[in-house]
């Protein structure tokens, strides 16, 4: 009997150490369901769908699957299986754009014309580049946490500190290039 109690106590402690660790995960599935609801319409439609998803129990099931299965996978592997491509529609002054975001970068498509621009991040070289019409152009190279190397239109580069003064200096340098190009 004492052995059974000891085994039960040790098992409970091990289960609690895994279940109550500080890694709570990103709850990707639950947030995808919530994001879907928020994209449906105004606050009244969102509230009705929210209530229906709790009665049916879509939200509780998504939360349970995230908490028990997906967040455990994320804890042990470092990546969430639900962290795929995120798609959003953004309205700009030139119309509607579809923005697809994944681990490699962003794909922006103008809905009216179908024109597409890609922003990619090369982790090995730490370079953000833009690709349009099959041509890739480097935009920025990450130097460290406080600096980036910006690639200017004339082919030169400029090191910029990631603060207000650095951004202002870069903006002035770019505007001077445009001013001289216009002359």
Q: How far apart are CA 143 and CA 161, in angstroms?
A: 10
Q: Which helix (H) or strand (E) holds 157?
A: strand 157-161
**Cα angle 173-179-183, degrees, rounded to a multiple of 5:** 145
Question: Rounded to two decimals, what is the model's pTM?
Answer: 0.49
The end-to-end CA distance of the chain, in Å, is 93
Task: Give the sheet arrangement for strand 127-132, strand by strand.
Answer: 86-92, 95-102, 105-110, 116-122, 127-132, 135-142, 147-151, 157-161
Phi then psi for residue 70, to 5 deg, are -65, -40
Q: Which of 149, 131, 153, 130 is nearest to 140 (CA)?
A: 149
What pLDDT is attached to residue 180? Answer: 46
Q: Map tokens 């998504």 to a residue.
A: 62
Q: How confident is the model at residue 30 (pLDDT cuts 50, 70, 90)?
A: confident
Model confidence over 64-118: pLDDT tens digits? 887 787 777 777 776 666 666 677 777 777 888 888 877 778 888 888 888 888 8
Query: How do the domains of the chain map onto residue ranges?
Result: 14-77, 97-182
């Amino acid at each position: 009997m004492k052995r059974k109690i000891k085994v039960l106590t040790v098992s409970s402690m091990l289960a609690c150490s895994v279940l109550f660790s500080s890694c709570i995960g990103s709850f990707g599935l639950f947030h995808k369901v919530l994001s879907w609801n928020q994209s449906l319409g105004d606050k009244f439609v969102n509230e009705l769908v929210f209530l229906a998803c709790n009665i049916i129990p879509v939200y509780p099931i998504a939360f349970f699957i995230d908490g028990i299965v997906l967040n455990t996978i994320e804890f042990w592997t470092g990546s969430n299986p639900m962290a795929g491509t995120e798609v959003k529609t953004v309205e700009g002054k030139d119309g509607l754009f579809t923005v697809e975001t994944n681990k490699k970068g962003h794909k922006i498509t103008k809905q009216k014309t179908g024109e597409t621009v890609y922003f990619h991040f090369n982790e090995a070289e730490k370079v953000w580049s833009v690709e349009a019409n099959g041509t890739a152009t480097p935009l920025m190279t990450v130097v460290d946490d406080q600096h980036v190397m910006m690639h200017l239109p004339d082919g030169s580069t400029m090191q910029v500190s990631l603060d207000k003064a650095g951004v202002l200096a870069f903006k002035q340098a770019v505007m001077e290039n445009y001013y001289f190009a216009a002359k």
